[in-house]
A and B are shown apart, each in its own frame.
Chain A
């Protein structure tokens, strides 16, 4: 029988994968992907808990997370475009003029 913890652990694993992606990747686009993964991981957990408790709040939360993820992508891509126009690169290592 698949219990709540299965889903939660899956969510944890996916979250960590996303985290690894965030930490590892140097391309900003890939960072966006990784955050999507993390948000989706939480969605699984929300829906699983929601199912487990028979409560709709979790699904609500997941719904809004999807909305938020969408908005973030829009703004993020806008930023990337303007950045790319200026820098010609999306590599984080090129984006370190402010430091110290």
Chain B
């Protein structure tokens, strides 16, 4: 099945369309069934993925608008493969864990469309197709936040949409300029990313283009100081919205850096290390502190997301395989862990209709299962070894240490500050005496909730103990990327900074050719 990627992209959308026919009472099962199928398809993708090949696989290419150089061009490599699986997994689990929702039909259909756009972003190899899915993903999310959100939902959803939209339009100009430059050099119009890779740009161009793409991606990540939409988005979104937002949508930004900024502008990327690292450090420390000051559990996790994304950003610009692989792995880890945490907060919200930390206390006594799973996710979130959170965070810090020891130490405070705010939540929500009457009557997780969380717990432990099946393909592709960047870089500084792993076998790499 060579066109499995197209199937993956469009199956949810078609299923979404057909979903209009399904009766309201059965739609949840329908949604779960569809997402399970998509998940299985993505697993199939994994199993048929050639682990030793670092280049693009399952490539599909159909010219759409040849005069503009736009084609329907899909493919996956080790970096995108697992983000796709993460997407399908989190959509499936998010949908399965979803509690009673008004207008559930609209929700399920919207989610299916959202899934299409998310997968589309990660498989697109044509810049315009990438942009297409990127923008399109805003729409269902807008609806989810706006229709099922909290009291400030409209403000939050519009802010989310406009902020991202503005950034991506700047990015679009950058894309157009790259295409133009490509045309100047080759005489052919092309938006294919792999074609663009071959383009060696002068430093000045690189810097400007890097800045243009940076704005688009940084807002999505979200990097300080562009992060302020996220507390609102998370704070107001329904559980499923937060789960998807944190687990997948934020990854689009970091994925964009890997897919575009690094290979296309290696010199500019190297030059940008310090500024980006400074921003990332601010993200890590500053938002961790803000997370500590929050009164709402969900906001704690929202800000902690930003903080963790800082670590991911840092890893992307470590310019060595350790940091970069770690960063990609951390994307997965953050996706699963923060997704699970949001689900957990959502479950308690469903019971008590409040997320304020002060409303709780001593919940362990009445909700032991809940507390245990929360504890596991908390530990994964603070990067405990043998959980998924550690592998990525460790590799990122390890990688970035090569770049700057001092900055790494500052970034490393995230393991302290993370513990500080997460343990605070744990203490005030789960520990202490059970005083409030309402809390005494709380029911522990029911079967549906438990079984939607257990896979995540299993993954958290599994990938913490044995990350190799995931890390190896990522590492292959990352090594290919770094080798490619190293060859392509024109300044000496960049060549010095980019470290190609000694173990890289050049014969395996086939980056940049189609």
Query: Do A and B touch, yes or no (CB under 8 Å, in the complex)?
Result: no
